[in-house]
Amino acid sequence: MRWRSSGLSLFLLLSIFVLKSATELRICAYNVQKFDSAKASNERLMHYLKLVLTRCDISLLQHVVDPDGQAIEKLLSVLNRGSDRYEEYDYEAVASESLGNSPDDKQKYVFIYRMQTVNMTGQYQYRSQQSFVREPFVVRFQSKNASIGEFILVPLHSEPSKAVQEINKLYDVFVEVSKKWNNTNVMFLGDFHASCAYVKRSDRKNIQLFMKSEFSWLIRNREDTTVTDATSCAYDRIVVHGEPFLRAIKPFSAKVFDLGAEFKMSRSEVVQLSDHYPVEVVLKSSALCLQATPLLSLISASVILWSFLSAL
């Protein structure tokens, strides 16, 4: 009886932990530095990129140079290939057209997402070449587990020399897409070049996302999102709008992901993949699960107490 009671208590406690962790949602952004067919054909680099992306429910890839879509097709093939992971997911991609003013530097925004955890419910190409070199490709997702439900992701890979102006113009994108979809749960993410020489402290007064209190910058100004020792800059950022979205963020989950340390990669291997680190944030589990957790905790505590009294 004592073993069965203890076993039941342990099971309930583990159930609480698994329920909470399994329903969280991880969103990542990664400047993959000229991801093209040549890079997609490098099996070693693709192995490491797969390790990075399979940690995330949604990944924004930037600097994708893939006019015919073959590089992303190869990446999806690698992601959806069977492996020895405990849980398998199916991955899908949604991509912008090739964007940019120069024929030699056309880039795509690409979102890779787990079909089991999110639905892609809308996409919209923002149009204003006067404001952006690579206009944001905006995507709306609906989470099957996260507490925020439906939310909008706005990517930006800024032109370094125009970083201040482009980051400032993200507010115009916010106004347009939040009205279009009647949803203010908006997250901005990507390589903003929002640090060092491109965006100085004195420039922040000219950026509405910095000046308006309803926007929260989750990757701090003192972080280093670059790989090489030559730079220490918070170029890559994640910004959310509004108190509801901020409350949906798991505390202290916004961070720079050091894939070199995590996957035992050499510095040269990391740099071959990109000179940027990915950034990420975790959304809390759904309200239903969060409400259920205290009840399960109470049941578990009662079973533990009952087990203790039975053993007397």
- Kindly report the pTM of this predicted structure: 0.85
Mean pLDDT, residues 235-239 taken together: 98
pLDDT in tens, 172-209: 999 999 999 999 999 999 999 999 999 999 999 999 99
SS3 247: helix
Whether the pLDDT of residue 60 is over 70: the answer is yes
* DSSP single-letter state for residue 204: G
**Residue 255, burial from CB neighbour count under 10 angstroms (0-12, 13-18, 19+):** middle
| C-alpha torsion sign, points 173, 176, 181, 185 | positive
Chosen CATH of 24-284 out of 3.40.50.300, 3.60.10.10, 3.30.43.10, 3.40.50.10860: 3.60.10.10
Mean pLDDT, residues 36-60 taken together: 97
User: Mean pLDDT over all residues of the chain?
Assistant: 88
Residue type, 107: Q
Whether the pLDDT of residue 6 is over 60: the answer is no
E-strand ranges in the chain read 25-35, 58-64, 91-95, 108-114, 118-125, 137-143, 150-155, 186-191, 215-217, 236-241, 255-256, 279-283
Kindly indicate the confidence band of residue 104, based on its pLDDT and cuts at 50, 70 and 90.
Answer: confident
Whether the pLDDT of residue 31 is over 60: the answer is yes
Kindly indicate the confidence band of residue 68, based on its pLDDT and cuts at 50, 70 and 90.
Answer: very high
Whether the pLDDT of residue 61 is over 50: the answer is yes
Whether the pLDDT of residue 5 is over 70: the answer is no
SS3 146: strand
Whole-angstrom CA distances from 231 to 167, 234, 242, 272, 274 are 21, 10, 32, 17, 14
Mean pLDDT, residues 98-114 taken together: 94
pLDDT in tens, 207-217: 999 999 999 99
